[in-house]
A and B are shown apart, each in its own frame.
Chain A
Amino acid sequence: MKLPEFEAKAVLKEYGIPVPRGRDASTPDEVELAAREIGGPVVLKAQIPVSGRGKAGGILFADDPAGARKIASGLLGSTIKESLVNTLLVEEALKVDKEYYLSVTIDRVAKRYVVLASVEGGVDIEQVALASPEKVSRYWTDPLSGLGEEQAREILARFDLSDDTAAELASLLTIMFSAAMDKDAELVELNPLVRTTSGTFVAVDARMIIDDNALFRHEEFAGRNLSREDETPLELEARKQNLAYVDLPGSTGVIGNGAGLVMATVDLVHHFGGSPANFLDIGGGGSVDINRRGLLLVLSKPEVKGVVVNIFGGITRCDFVAQAVIEATEESGTDKPIAVSMMGTNEAEGKRMLDEAGVMNFPNMEEAVQGLLRVQGGR
Chain B
Amino acid sequence: MSIIVGRSTRVIVQGITGREGRFHTASMLQYGTNIVAGVTPGKGGEEVEGVPVYDTAAEAVARHQANTSIMFVPARFARSAILEAVDAGLSTIVAITEGVAHKDAIESMARAEQRGDTIVIGPNCPGVISPSKKTKVGIMPNHIFKPGRVGIVSRSGSLTYEIAWHTTQAGLGQSTCVGIGGDAIIGLDFVGALKMFRDDDETDGVVLIGEIGGNAEEAAAAYIAETGYPKPVVAYIAGRMAPPGKRMGHAGAIIMGEMGTASSKMDAFAAASVPVADRPSQIVGLLRV
Contact = CB atoms under 8 A, between A and B. Distances in A.
B110 A109 contact: no
Contacts of A216: 75-76
A271 interface: yes
Contacts of A106: 102, 106, 184-185
Taking chain A's interface residues, is the majority helix, strand, or loop, or is none over half, making it mixed? mixed
B249 interface: yes
Interface of A: 106, 108-109, 111-113, 126, 142-144, 181, 184, 186, 211-214, 216-217, 230, 244, 246, 248, 256-264, 266-271, 276, 279, 281, 284, 312-315, 343-344, 364-366
Contact of A258 (B143, B159, B247): B159
A365 B279 CA distance: 10
Interface in B140-170: 140-144, 154-162, 165
Interface of B: 23, 27, 75-76, 99-107, 109-111, 114, 139-144, 154-162, 165, 182, 184-185, 189, 209, 211-212, 214-216, 219, 236, 238-243, 245-253, 257-258, 278-281
Contacts of B140: 314
B162 A312 contact: yes
B244 to A, nearest CB: 11
B249 A281 contact: yes
A127 to B, nearest CB: 11
B189 A109 contact: yes
Contacts of A261: 156-159, 162, 238
A181 B103 CA distance: 8
**Cβ-closest 7 pairs across A and B:** A260-B156, A314-B141, A259-B249, A258-B158, A260-B159, A143-B110, A214-B101
Contact of A111 (B75, B185, B242): B185
A279 B249 contact: yes
B249 A262 contact: yes
Given A212-B251, A214-B102, A260-B159, 7 more contacts: A111-B106, A244-B248, A246-B248, A260-B211, A266-B241, A270-B241, A276-B241
Given A143-B110, A144-B110, A213-B99, A263 B257 contact: no
A235 to B, nearest CB: 8
Most chain A CB within 10 A, of B76, B142, B159, B279, is at B159
Contacts of A271: 278-279
14 contacts: A111-B110, A112-B110, A246-B242, A260-B154, A260-B211, A260-B250, A263-B238, A264-B162, A266-B242, A269-B241, A284-B157, A314-B143, A314-B144, A364-B281
A262 B280 CA distance: 12
Contacts, number: 170
Contact of A267 (B241, B249, B250): B241
Contact of B158 (A108, A109, A256, A364): A256
B3 to A, nearest CB: 21
A335 B248 CA distance: 28
Nearest to A2: B245
A213 B100 contact: yes
A259 B156 contact: yes
A276 B278 CA distance: 16
B189 to A, nearest CB: 7
B228 to A, nearest CB: 22
A108 B249 contact: no
A281 B156 CA distance: 12
A261 B157 CA distance: 8
A260 B182 contact: yes
Contact of A312 (B161, B236, B239): B161
B219 A144 contact: no
A211 B104 CA distance: 11
A49 to B, nearest CB: 9
Contacts of A364: 281
Contacts of B154: 260
Contact of B240 (A142, A230, A270): A270
Contacts of B75: 213, 216
Nearest to A126: B257
Contacts of B248: 244, 246, 259, 262-263, 279, 281
Contacts of B279: 264, 267-268, 271, 366
